[in-house]
Chains A and B, each alone.
Chain A
Amino acid sequence: DIVLTQSPGTLSLSPGERATLSCRASQSVGSGYFAWYQQKPGQAPRLLIHGASSRAPGIPDRFSGGGSGTDFTLTINRLEPEDVAVYYCQQYGSSPRTFGQGTKVEIK
């Protein structure tokens, strides 16, 4: 199984700052089949990024994804209060699909 390790565990930033979230895979993710999700309390996860760098429909361009192989990043520019959530990475290029343990983004 591909293990995904996210860092940091918690990110506390001020509004308007840039958040950089990392995810490292234990082995290379096939075909760039890598995604990022946002989850707010009491809600289902919401797809932000697929294919490592493609934004899902309706996702603001403040969110961007990058990386390949085993190292991936999610960048949130101009952080807004509504971005407070837990962010999960996921690989869907091999079975079982696996998720990271999450990065919590807080606003100072």
Chain B
Amino acid sequence: QVQLVQSGAEVKKPGASVKISCKTSGYTFTSYYMHWVRQAPGQGPEWMGIIYPSGGGTNYAHKFQATVTMTRDTSTSTVYMELSSLRSDDTAVYYCARGAYGSGTYGAFDTWGQGTLVTVSS
């Protein structure tokens, strides 16, 4: 079955960077867009951006354009999200989520990773 398995929790200091992995299995990696979403404590989800695993193309939410980088490794069917210049308000659970049931880059998020808690604290 389709699975997205993320890397473990991270604790970072303000100003540092964090890189989270999302290893996929159970489907053709290059055929589906992958999104990154974060959820701060007690808040709704917030979309960060999208990567197309086939060509590596990306589209980031305006808010994150200066600080986020999404990449992929087709040899291991893994996508990565790196967030730099961390601040305390970046403390959140970060999810990868597969896009499906739409057209092109516009799909609902049919499968989610288990989430990675990133805590930013001095």
Contact: A44 with B115, CB < 8 Å? yes
A31-B106, A44-B112, A44-B113 given; A96·B61 CB < 8 A: yes
Q: Which of B59, B61, B62, B114 contacts A44 (CB 8 A)?
A: B114
Q: Which of A54, A90, A98 contacts B101 (CB 8 A)?
A: A54
Q: Does A33 contact B (CB under 8 A)?
A: yes
| Residues on A with beta carbons closer than 8 Å to the beta carbon of B115 | 44
Stretch with Cβ within 8 A of A (4 or more), from B41-49, B68-76, B79-87: B41-49
Q: How many of A's residues come within 8 Å of B, CB to CB? A: 26
Contact: A33 with B106, CB < 8 Å? yes
List residues of B whose CB falls within 8 A of some A CB.
Answer: 35, 43-47, 59, 61-62, 95, 97, 99-103, 106-115
* Apart from A30-B106, A35-B108, A96-B62: 4 A-B pairs, beta carbons within 8 A: A44-B115, A54-B101, A88-B44, A99-B44
A-B contact pairs, 21 of them (CB 8 A): A30-B106, A33-B106, A44-B95, A44-B114, A44-B115, A45-B112, A50-B100, A50-B108, A51-B108, A54-B101, A56-B101, A88-B45, A90-B45, A90-B109, A92-B109, A93-B106, A96-B47, A98-B47, A99-B44, A99-B45, A100-B44
